[in-house]
Amino acid sequence: MEPKSSIGGLRLRLLVLHLLLLAPGFATAFNYADALSKSIIFFEGQRSGKLPPGNRMPWRSHSGLSDGAQYNVDLVGGYYDAGDNVKFGLPMAFTTTMLAWSVLDFGKFMAAAGELENARAAVKWGADYLLKAATATPGKLYVQVADPNQDHRCWERPEDMDTPRGVYHVDVDKPGSDVAGETAAALAASSLVFRRSDPVYSNRLLNAAVATFEFADRHRGAYSDTLASVACPFYCSYSGYHDELLWAATWLHRANPSNSSFLSYVAVNGLQLGAGDDDFSFSWDDKRAGAKILLAKFFLRKKYNNLEMYKAHADSYLCSLVPGTASFNAGEFTAGGLLFKSGSSNMQYVTTATFLMLAYAKYLRSSNSTASCGISGEGDVSAGEIVAVAKRQVDYILGKNPAGISYMVGFGCKYPRRVHHRGASIPSVRAHPGRIGCDAGFGYLHSGEPNPNVLVGAVVGGPDSRDAFADDRGNFAQSEPATYINAPLVGALAYFAGTTRSGTGRE
Ligand SMILES: *[C@@H]1O[C@H](CO)[C@@H](O)[C@H](O)[C@H]1NC(C)=O
Ligand SMILES: *[C@@H]1O[C@H](CO)[C@@H](O)[C@H](O)[C@H]1NC(C)=O
């Protein structure tokens, strides 16, 4: 293959960026600080357990107060994953990891916007639960509360749910290196968030992270093999558990850099754990792209020779997202410019990719480096170009898109009104204190009316491959929110709130 001329490549990229910037609606300025604030409030709407005074989703109340009690374990707290009332450990841990990463890399912008404490509280709500799940019973990691098949037979507010709250765990006989690896990553990342503000708590998190990682590594297996009836097809570990072992070791190194054992683990096991594959989606299931971006950060900072390949992999991931590079994957973008991976809950891939772009741009900048998208320096992409691509995705979410709608609930004047979410779609316990039972709730699901409660800040699954969106509660592929859609967006919004003048969208 002919190497592309550097001048041609650069010109083409600048032209493409130029066209993106001149696209209709460029004059629209978004208030990123407002979007950041709302993206965090959303997590207060997903809380399970006893809500603190001042919980900012006023239509929510306490729920799941006896979770675990019949099994003699306290599993109160944590987050409902999406529009139902199940507590799934794998996506909850991933959500917590991404919230923590958002705070670690973009916390200074959160502080400037007055949102750092709110963001930390969102991390802590997840970390508190995961710490209990990992340490309540020696030898067990609790990985789920409630059977989704039973939960989904009802359409109930969390405050009056009466479906069975089964408790599921992994142990040495029924291993789950996927969910244990992600839990270890979440605990390690969270320990960094609280290192200065609460060192005692931070140490507890780190110790639990190390023990959970050792369990994940020594007793290898996929949790969806033994817990298939409750984990699949909801949060089946489709990518297996290798990616989570790599991810967990990577986070443990970041949390504990003075102990070289985690980096050695990556050096020895990385290839066998899939680190050599080029993989282009990052989600609650598959962590490889995220692990490579972090390992590339370690390489850029300290020039560990055995991590050099991760810089190449991180570049390869990035280059697929940047228009005009040889490896740009145009087929993965809609005509309106949205990264499109899946017809179901596509926004989760948009927010994770956007986060990785911004994190990597930051690492490249701080080491005065570029992403290499061509042969021998001829296709270098700067941090600034990467940020411009990320901004395009964020702006699409907030309303600069062909449908002219904000995909964040409560942001802007046109946004999804029929979010697929039990609590938001049924009158609140404050407006309607009487119980609304299992079957009675379905009337609200199937009604064409807007939700009575606004799930502020929730980002929904998003449009189809033609940039079209149906504001329809029954269309869960498009209208369901999820904690793991929002978590990476928290960091991205903090970045734009902090780097655009007054957070209003003009650079
Ligand atoms: C580093 O961590 C490993 C794994 O947890 C542990 O076995 C080892 O004792 C630690 N080394 C030091 C020097 O703390
Ligand atoms: C960054 O790299 C460029 C190109 O190698 C070099 O000219 C410049 O001096 C570097 N700047 C810093 C701050 O290291």
Cβ atoms of 466 and 460 within 8 Å: the answer is: no
What pLDDT does 166 receive?
97
Cβ atoms of 361 and 368 within 8 Å: the answer is: no
Confidence of residue 275 (pLDDT cuts 50, 70, 90): confident
Cβ contacts of residue 204 below 8 Å, gap of 6+?
131
Cβ contacts of residue 265 below 8 Å, gap of 6+?
217, 249
CA angle 483, 86, 235 (to 5 degrees): 70
CB-ligand 1 contact for 504 (6 Å cutoff): no
What pLDDT does 303 receive?
74
What pLDDT does 5 receive?
35
Cβ atoms of 91 and 180 within 8 Å: the answer is: no
Q: How far is the CA of 380 from the centre of ligand 2 (A)?
A: 14
d(CA 76, CA 68): 7
**pLDDT surpasses 50 at 467:** yes
240-254: average pLDDT? 97
What pLDDT does 280 receive?
78
Known catalytic membership, residue 507:
no
What pLDDT does 506 receive?
40
Cβ atoms of 417 and 408 within 8 Å: the answer is: no
Q: Which residue out of 44, 81, 182, 480 is catalytically annotated?
A: 480
Ligand nearest to the CA of 383: 2
Cis peptide before 233 (omega within 30 of 0): yes
Q: How far is the CA of 260 from the centre of ligand 1 (A)?
A: 8
Which position has the higher pLDDT, 248 or 503?
A: 248
Q: How far is the CA of 261 from the centre of ligand 1 (A)?
A: 6
Cite the DSSP H helix spans in 234-287.
Answer: 242-255, 261-269
> What are the strands of the beta sheet with 167-170, ordered from one edge?
87-88, 141-145, 167-170
**pLDDT surpasses 50 at 7:** no
Q: How far is the CA of 199 from the centre of ligand 1 (A)?
A: 19
132-137: average pLDDT? 98
What pLDDT does 223 receive?
98
Indicate the SS3 state at residue 505.
coil
Ligand nearest to the CA of 215: 1
Residue located via tokens 């993206």: 39
Cβ contacts of residue 420 below 8 Å, gap of 6+?
83, 460, 473, 474, 475, 476, 479, 480, 481
CB-ligand 1 contact for 261 (6 Å cutoff): yes
CB-ligand 1 contact for 210 (6 Å cutoff): yes
Ligand nearest to the CA of 367: 2
What pLDDT does 25 receive?
45
Cβ contacts of residue 205 below 8 Å, gap of 6+?
127, 131, 187, 188, 190, 191, 194
Residue whose Cα lies nearest atom 6 of ligand 1: it is 261
CA angle 65, 70, 72 (to 5 degrees): 95
For a ligand 1 pocket test, name from 251, 252, 259 the mutation site with the most ligand atoms within 8 angstroms of its C-beta: 259
pLDDT tens-digit profile of 388-399?
999 999 999 999
**pLDDT surpasses 90 at 111:** yes
CB-ligand 1 contact for 41 (6 Å cutoff): no
Q: Which residue out of 182, 420, 421, 472 is catalytically annotated?
A: 420
CB-ligand 1 contact for 344 (6 Å cutoff): no
The domain made up of 7-226+233-499 has a fold known as Glycosyltransferase (1.50.10)
pLDDT tens-digit profile of 25-44?
444 589 999 999 999 999 99
Residue whose Cα lies nearest atom 1 of ligand 1: it is 259
**pLDDT surpasses 70 at 67:** yes
CB-ligand 1 contact for 264 (6 Å cutoff): no
Using CA atoms, how far residue 14 sits from 7, 11, 44, 400, 483, in Å, is 10, 5, 41, 21, 35
d(CA 24, CA 48): 42
**pLDDT surpasses 50 at 84:** yes
Lowest mean pLDDT among 167-171, 254-258, 503-507: 503-507
What pLDDT does 121 receive?
98
Q: Which residue out of 44, 471, 472, 507 is catalytically annotated?
A: 471
What pLDDT does 379 receive?
82
What pLDDT does 502 receive?
55
Known catalytic membership, residue 2:
no
Q: To the nearest whole percent, how much of the chain has pLDDT over 90?
A: 86
Per-residue burial over 69-96, b = 16 or more CB atoms within 10 Å of its CB, e = otherwise: eebebbbbbbbbbbbbbbbbbbbbbbbb
* Average pLDDT in the chain: 92
Q: Which atom of ligand 1 is nearest to the CA of 260?
A: 1
Q: Which atom of ligand 1 is nearest to the CA of 259?
A: 1
**Beta bridge partner(s), residue 506:** 501
What pLDDT does 6 receive?
38
Residue whose Cα lies nearest atom 13 of ligand 1: it is 259
Nearest of 378, 351, 460 to residue 415 by alpha carbon: 460
Confidence of residue 9 (pLDDT cuts 50, 70, 90): very low
Rounded to the nearest angstrom, the gap between the alpha carbon of residue 405 and the centroid of all alpha carbons in its chain is: 22
Confidence of residue 353 (pLDDT cuts 50, 70, 90): very high
CB-ligand 1 contact for 260 (6 Å cutoff): no
What pLDDT does 271 receive?
86
What pLDDT does 382 receive?
95
106-131: average pLDDT? 98
CB-ligand 1 contact for 184 (6 Å cutoff): no
Q: Which atom of ligand 1 is nearest to the CA of 213?
A: 5
Q: How far is the CA of 258 from the centre of ligand 2 (A)?
A: 29
Residue located via tokens 């309106």: 336
Show me where the domains of the chain are located: 7-226+233-499
pLDDT tens-digit profile of 361-401?
999 999 999 999 976 566 899 999 999 999 999 999 999 99
**pLDDT surpasses 80 at 354:** yes
Which amino acid, residue 409? V
Known catalytic membership, residue 244:
no
What pLDDT does 15 receive?
53
For a ligand 1 pocket test, name from 203, 253, 261, 265 the mutation site with the most ligand atoms within 8 angstroms of its C-beta: 261
Ligand nearest to the CA of 213: 1
Q: How far is the CA of 289 from the centre of ligand 1 (A)?
A: 26
